[in-house]
Structure 1
Amino acid sequence: MTGSNTSASTMNGTTTAATLAAVREATAVLTGVVERFAETDFTRPSLLPGWTRGHVVTHLARNADALVNLLTWARTGIEHAAYPSWADRNADIADGASRLGQIQREDLVAACGRFMVEATRLGHEDWAARVQNSSGTPVAAAQIPQMRLFEVWTHLVDLDFEVGFDAVPTGHLDLLLDRALLPHRSRTDGHPLRLTVSLPDGSQRSWELAIAQDADSEVSGSAAAALTWLTGRGRPASLSGPLPDLGAWG
């Protein structure tokens, strides 16, 4: 069943329409940043080891297309893998990063546009369809907008161009935190840890997690600091206690 009734589907209490609106906002920030790149900026190092900013920009474009494949799968019921293979994915990113900056910029804008167009084609029942993410894990299609939002903001930070997690709008933070916490909330073993996050509106959220490494039993701090740590982008001093290295996310 297809259509445009995205607002009826929810993920973690947030409507799909609201999450897609957040994706549009984040994408506007992303394309605005990349629009300001000089040609030499594309070849400068990103915060990801071994990747230039061009690698990150190209990855964000190909990720959008990969998620279009999953949206198409959900809408049609015909399997469309996110990527043909990991080797193809990596080769596409390496090749794309070698292009002229303007071509990379136009590619990113076009891919982001394709994602939004395909997302608006799904109806309520389509969002409940099960597909497989790039790791082969079954997920509900309703998770795809949140997946894209997380990719955009996390790799915006990786571009190392004036945008950090402290730039994330308050309305996006819950979605990003829920996504970043997935590996630790789904663990069935490990060391228990309670994470308490302070949001910009003065409210707090807490989670009981399990992590691979032994550490202090409680960590607290701002949402931006928590996202930096949870995504493996650093261990901010503003978070309480010595923090284990969680490894990079995405």
Structure 2
Amino acid sequence: MADIALGTGRWSAADLTDEVTDHLARIDHATEVLVRSVTGLDELSVRQPSLLPGWSRAHVITHLARNADACSNLLLWARTGIEHPMYASRDDRDQAIQQGASRSHQLLLEDLVASSDRFAAAARSLPASDWTAEVTLALGEVIPALHVLRMRLLEVWAHLVDLDHDVDHADIPVADAERLLEDVAQQFGGRHDVPALSLEVDFGTHRRTWDLRGTTSEPARVSGEPGPVLGWLLGRTGPEDLRGEAPELPPWM
């Protein structure tokens, strides 16, 4: 069976199929937790602040719904070869979130479920060969369609915690947390505003180290458990539960 070029390496068709299947299962589980959490809110609690400055929980829920549709657009692009950007424009994205956040709890929940279902259907119907097609993110980064799944998994878990309701970073499954940390570390490592950092994370059965080549000559050395490290990298929590001299990081998003 022929190998398929993807990212910085090559995948066999069987490995690619396994990776897609695994990611879809992880996204399904994260979405189930998300929907259950949002179901547990009410008209008053969806108006309360989230962990994101200036956004209520209703803003976060609406953002997750529109992100699901944006990811579906990218998969349509991969399928057809015709450009379907995530959002028409940044202004349109922001306006959709602002308008959507004013809806009732029930409508917020229904929109979240429907958009998540649309994304799941688009992903499951995408031909195997199209997962290697390149698509362009809102900020211009070009990625293979397979990485849309990684992006959606990060969006769901990160913003689920942002709801500040009944899930925190420690509740993210260890295997998912490792993938999220991999993606966050890689993206931070390519930025010019991030200090050099050697990051060690204890996953229980094993440890992993990420080295971020940043703007300082001497890397800071920080270690900790997956949840606290992820929360700190994303700017949602402080470094209190970490070991080492944690440097100040720029905003994640």
Classify the secondary structure of the residue corresponding to 2:213.
strand
- Structure 2: give runs of 5+ residues left out of the alignment: 1-12
Tell me the number of residue pairs that the alignment of Structure 1 and Structure 2 aligns: 241
* 1:153-206 Cα distance to aligned partner (Å, 9 max, x none): 00011000021110001221221111211223324786432110011x331000
* 1:72-95 Cα distance to aligned partner (Å, 9 max, x none): 000111110100000000000000
* 1:37-93 Cα distance to aligned partner (Å, 9 max, x none): 111111000010000000000000000000000000001111101000000000000
- Structure 1: give runs of 5+ residues left out of the alignment: 1-5
Letter in 1 for 2:36: G
Letter in 2 for 1:238: D
Q: What does 1:15-34 align with in structure 2 at a 5 Å threshold?
A: 15-34=19-38
- Of residues 138, 156, 161, the one that matches 1:152 is 156
Instruction: Give me the TM-score of the superposition, normalised by structure 1.
Output: 0.90
Q: Which has the higher contact order (CA 8 A, sep 6+)?
A: 1
Alpha-carbon contact 1:235-1:245 (below 8 Å) kept = no
* 1:100-135 Cα distance to aligned partner (Å, 9 max, x none): 111011000000000000001112210100000111
- Of residues 81, 87, 94, the one that matches 1:83 is 87
How much is the aligned-residue C-alpha RMSD, in angstroms?
2.0
- Of residues 120, 123, 127, the one that matches 1:119 is 123
Q: Please name the residue that 1:3 is paired with.
A: none
Structure 1 pair 7–115 and aligned structure 2 pair: CA distance change class (3 A): farther
Classify the secondary structure of the residue corresponding to 1:131.
strand
- Of residues 201, 215, 220, the one that matches 1:217 is 220
- Of residues 9, 16, 25, the one that matches 2:16 is 9
Taking only the aligned residue pairs, the percentage that are identical comes to 42
Q: Please name the residue that 1:234 is paired with.
A: 237
Q: Please name the residue that 1:244 is paired with.
A: 247
Segment of structure 1 superposing worse, 176-185 or 41-50: 176-185
Classify the secondary structure of the residue corresponding to 2:229.
helix
Classify the secondary structure of the residue corresponding to 1:39.
coil
- Of residues 130, 136, 143, the one that matches 2:140 is 136
Classify the secondary structure of the residue corresponding to 2:44.
helix
Structure 1 pair 7–166 and aligned structure 2 pair: CA distance change class (3 A): farther
CA distance in 2, matches of 1:101, 1:27: 17
CA distance in 2, matches of 1:217, 1:88: 40
Letter in 2 for 1:249: W
Alpha-carbon contact 2:201-2:208 (below 8 Å) kept = yes
Instruction: Give me the TM-score of the superposition, normalised by structure 2.
Output: 0.89
Classify the secondary structure of the residue corresponding to 1:174.
helix
CA distance in 1, matches of 2:218, 2:52: 25
Asked if 1:180 is matched to 2:180, the reply is no
